[in-house]
Amino acid sequence: MHNKIPSTAMRIDEVYPYTIQSAVPVPTFKLGLEYLSQGRVKILQSDDSSISSQVEGDSGSYQQRIYLEKGSLVTKCSCSSPERPLCRHCLAVMLEFHRLAMGRELRARQDKPFLAKPLLHEENRGTTIGFKLRQITIFMDWLQLAVKAVQSDQDLPEAPDLEPGELRTWVQALQRFQDRFQRTEEERAALVSDLMAHKRQLETYEQEAKKLHEVCEGLRHDLASSRAMLVQIAKERDQVGRQLKSMIDDFIVKKRMEIEGLTMSLQQISVALGELTPVQSPQLIETTN
């Protein structure tokens, strides 16, 4: 197994455990801690930029070579694990290397004679390092709980009692991120609820539109029937009109002929009467009177 991880560290002991933990999956980090606690790691050789080691795995012994090269942390292990970006064996080696480095530093401080003034800075430095390690330990414990909380969709644990600094800033950043995530989830849930309400309303509108379409189809059918009936009525009206006109014309002609016949008959009767009535002279009329 061969991996290469970008790194700005100038020395291997500057690749801190919390940095390693943030870069690897949780199961791999847990396995590395188990290997470390079980004493399976053996550092064969090390300096500021490289480590040679051996780890007793579950299926045999594996050799590791870890070193810094051109802005990268290179890890090589004789195992065939697909774990990335570090296998459990290299991770355990890095943790063991830091444990040994911290032990050497503590022993070196204890072996130095006590001189109040000249070594005051070194004592303060040791105290500062111990304080930082304690802060890192608190942060790592909180981070493990936070990871479990995130994996189970729960709220982050209460913020640890950390001094102002980078670790406290990270905790606050994670809390703000969860707050934003929760607000986003609430907004998403509200949007989903609105979407479902709009969907139900749309389904209601679709049903109403379907009913209206059926009504419109019925009205269109009735309108078509009415139009056909009006066309038929118009045809019958025109036919009746033509028949009435023909009957009126025939009646007028007939009556005209009858009137003309009557007129001629009256004229003939008048002529006949004129011929039958004698004409008396004026003298005869006066004598009679």
SS3 68: strand
Task: Give me the domain span that covers residue 70.
Answer: 1-111
Query: What pLDDT was estimated at residue 124?
Result: 44
Does 122 map to a domain? no
Query: What pLDDT was estimated at residue 277?
Result: 61
Query: What pLDDT was estimated at residue 283?
Result: 56
**Pair type for strands 60-69 and 72-77:** antiparallel
Q: State the Cα–Cα distance between residues 162 and 171, nearest whole angstrom.
A: 9
Query: What pLDDT was estimated at residue 183?
Result: 86
Number of domains in the chain: 1
Query: What pLDDT was estimated at residue 130?
Result: 57
Does 128 map to a domain? no
SS3 281: coil
Does 33 map to a domain? yes
Does 38 map to a domain? yes
Does 52 map to a domain? yes
Does 74 map to a domain? yes
**Pair type for strands 41-46 and 2-6:** unpaired
Q: State the Cα–Cα distance between residues 100 and 227, nearest whole angstrom.
A: 103
How far, rounded to the nearest angstrom, does the alpha carbon of residue 129 sit from its chain's CA centroid? 48
Does 174 map to a domain? no
71 Rama class: left (phi>0) / alpha (psi -120 to 50) / beta = left
Q: What is the mean pLDDT of each run of 10 residues along the chain (289 residues)?
A: 83 83 87 90 92 92 93 92 90 90 66 43 47 74 79 80 79 83 86 91 92 92 92 92 90 89 87 72 53
Contacts of residue 82, Cβ cutoff 8 Å, sequence gap at least 6 = 1
Query: What pLDDT was estimated at residue 43?
Result: 94
CB 101 within 8 A of CB 16: no
Query: What pLDDT was estimated at residue 166?
Result: 76
Q: State the Cα–Cα distance between residues 186 and 266, nearest whole angstrom.
A: 114
Q: State the Cα–Cα distance between residues 60 and 53, nearest whole angstrom.
A: 14
Does 186 map to a domain? no
